[in-house]
Amino acid sequence: MRLARLAALLCCLLPSPFYCVSVNAAQKTNETPRAPMPTQILDAKKVFIGNAGGEESRLFSGGPDRAYNQFYAAMKSWGRYELVATPADADLLFEIQVTFPYAVPPAPRFWVLIRDPKTHAALWAFVEWAEPAGRQSNRDKNFDAALNRIVSSLQELVAAPAASGAPQ
């Protein structure tokens, strides 16, 4: 009886060679290599920001153009790109849209699409949701936070190839 308990205890406490092999194999799995980024995003100097529309909502202050106005101001403040007045003058097109998909409680979805102005091909997209909140002031803070996450994601995207030493 004692011998059986001792054997069971040792089996539980001592690592099995099969377990060690399986853990080591799992740790050696290859990561998927980073896909190339469209060179237009890295090479662009001038961008046009288009307002792809927003739904009117009384849940947030600022009206349907609030996201466009804030995104435009954040991009201007960042200074990475020169903002131009017409798509014809741009190296990239940024489209921002805010929708309120059917959700309970309702929360805005921010969508920023980067397009090539020559081909109109979609090059990259960002999607963020604002967290729902009960009070107007908290909803507005969450709106701002979601929009800031979009801008931060764009900044990280542009900085990533330089930081990794990847060819541009």
Residue 105: count other Cβ atoms within 10 Å of its Cβ.
Answer: 10
Domain count, the chain: 1
User: What pLDDT band is residue 161 in, cutting at 50, 70 and 90?
Assistant: low
- Looking at the domain assignment, is residue 88 inside a domain? yes
Q: How confident is the model at residue 30, as a pLDDT? A: 77
Is there a domain that residue 8 lies in?
no
Rounded distance between C-alpha atoms, residue 114 and residue 124, angstroms = 5
- Is 80 contained in some domain? yes
pLDDT tens figures, 14-64: 555 444 444 455 555 678 887 888 999 999 999 999 999 876 666 778 778
CA neighbours closer than 13 Å in the CB half-sphere of residue 160? 14
Q: Residues 138-149: pLDDT tens digits?
A: 988 998 999 999
The whole-angstrom separation of Cα 99 and Cα 44 is: 28
What pLDDT does 37 receive? Answer: 87
For the chain, helix, strand, coil in percent to 5 are 45, 20, 35
Q: What is the pLDDT of residue 28?
A: 59
Q: For 52-110, what is each residue's pLDDT tens digit?
A: 987 666 677 877 888 899 999 999 999 999 999 999 999 999 999 988 877 677 778 89
Amino acid 122 reads A
The pLDDT score that the predictor gives to residue 45 is: 97
What is the rounded distance in angstroms from the CA atom of residue 152 to the CA atom of residue 30? 28
Domain membership flag for residue 148: yes
Q: Which residues form the domain of 113?
A: 39-159
Angle between helices 66-78 and 136-164 (to 10 degrees): 40
Q: How far apart are CA 86 and CA 47, in angstroms?
A: 9
Nearest to 47 by CA among 90, 111, 89: 90
Which CATH number do you get for residue 113? 3.40.50.10070
Q: Output the pLDDT for position 162.
A: 55
The answer to whether residue 4 is domain-embedded is no
Whether residue 56 lies inside any domain: the answer is: yes
Task: Say whether pLDDT at 151 is over 70.
Answer: yes
Q: Is residue 99 part of a domain?
A: yes
Answer yes or no: is 1 within a domain.
Answer: no
